[in-house]
Amino acid sequence: MSWTSDELARVGDAQELDLSVAGRTVTIWVVRVGDELYVRSWRGGRGSWFRRDQQTHTVHIHAGGVDRAVALVDAGDDINDLVDDAYRAKYARYLDSYTAHMVAPDARTTTLKLVPNTIERTSDAH
């Protein structure tokens, strides 16, 4: 399944996304690139929610009034520059503090695409 136009707009415009994985909820940033939504771990691979996702692959999100089960799919390196640009644009007011961490090499390695209505984990990286 894919996102509806309304869901893309609502989640993509939301300043924060609540992500529930393995019984825990964390609030993170989300960005939209085209018709896809992406998240990253601010702490890179050391982020606790990211580590839990790597083990469970069962995730639920809530943002902008949208409540969906999703899979977090490894996005691959080819999208990272566009995701960087999306973080810089959306969160420009935090550029000197938090946003710099979101576009740092450690965070870039954790770029994940949100894929709605799937439980199975897949990968776009070829």
22 belongs to a structural domain: yes
Give the tens place of pLDDT for each residue, 10-42. 999 999 999 998 889 999 999 999 999 999 999
Reading the block at residue 15, the tokens are: 């300043």
Q: What total of structural domains would you count in the chain? A: 1
61 belongs to a structural domain: yes
91 belongs to a structural domain: yes
Contacts of 68 (CB under 8 A, 6+ apart): 7, 60, 61, 116, 117
Question: pLDDT at residue 75 above 70?
Answer: yes
Question: pLDDT at residue 122 above 80?
Answer: no
CATH number at residue 61: 2.30.110.10
What is the pTM for the complete model shown?
0.89
Q: Residue 3: enclosing H or E segment and its boundaries? A: none
What does the pLDDT read at residue 67?
A: 94
Spatial strand order of the sheet with 112-116 comes to: 24-28, 17-21, 59-63, 66-74, 112-116, 36-39, 31-33
Percent of the chain with pLDDT strictly greater than 90? 68
What does the pLDDT read at residue 119?
A: 45
What does the pLDDT read at residue 108?
A: 96
90 belongs to a structural domain: yes
105 belongs to a structural domain: yes
121 belongs to a structural domain: no
Q: Residue 118: enclosing H or E segment and its boundaries? A: none
83 belongs to a structural domain: yes
Average pLDDT, the chain: 88
124 belongs to a structural domain: no
Question: pLDDT at residue 89 above 90?
Answer: yes
Q: Which domain holds residue 72?
A: 5-116
Round to whole Å and give the CA distance between 53 and 121: 10
Angle at 9 between CA 70 and CA 74, to 5 degrees: 35
Give the tens place of pLDDT for each residue, 33-69. 999 999 999 999 999 899 888 887 668 999 999 999 9
